[in-house]
Amino acid sequence: MITISRAGPADLDALAQLFDAYRQFYGQPSDIERGRKWLRERLRFGESMVLLAHQAANAVGFVQLYPMFSSVRTAKTWILNDLYVDAGARRKGIARQLLQAAADFAKTDGAVGIALETNTDNTAARALYRAAGWREDATQWYSLRFEPGLH
Predicted confidence at residue 103, as pLDDT, reads 93
Question: For residue range 54-74, what is the model confidence (pLDDT) as tens digits?
Answer: 999 899 999 999 999 989 989
Report the chain's mean pLDDT, rounded to a whole number. Answer: 90
pLDDT in tens, 81-121: 999 999 999 999 999 999 999 999 999 999 998 988 888 88
Q: What is the mean pLDDT of residues 122-136?
A: 87
70 - beta bridge partners? 75
In this predicted structure, the answer to whether residue 150 has a pLDDT above a threshold of 60 is: no
Task: Decide: helix, strand or coil at residue 92.
Answer: coil
Query: Looking at the predicted structure, is the pLDDT value of residue 144 above 70?
Result: no
Pairwise CA distance, residues 49 & 80, whole Å: 10
Give the chain's domains with CATH numbers: 2-131 (3.40.630.30)
- pTM of this prediction? 0.88
Tell me, what's the pLDDT at 134?
85
- How many angstroms separate the CA atoms of 59 and 82, rounded? 15
- pLDDT at residue 143, rounded to an integer: 57
Output b/e per residue, 110-142; b: 16+ Cβ within 10 A: ebeebebeeeeeeeeeeebbeeeebeeeeeeee
More confident residue, 7 or 134: 7
- What is the rounded distance in angstroms from the CA atom of residue 22 to the CA atom of residue 87? 10
The answer to whether residues 43 and 9 touch, using CB atoms and an 8 Å cutoff, is yes
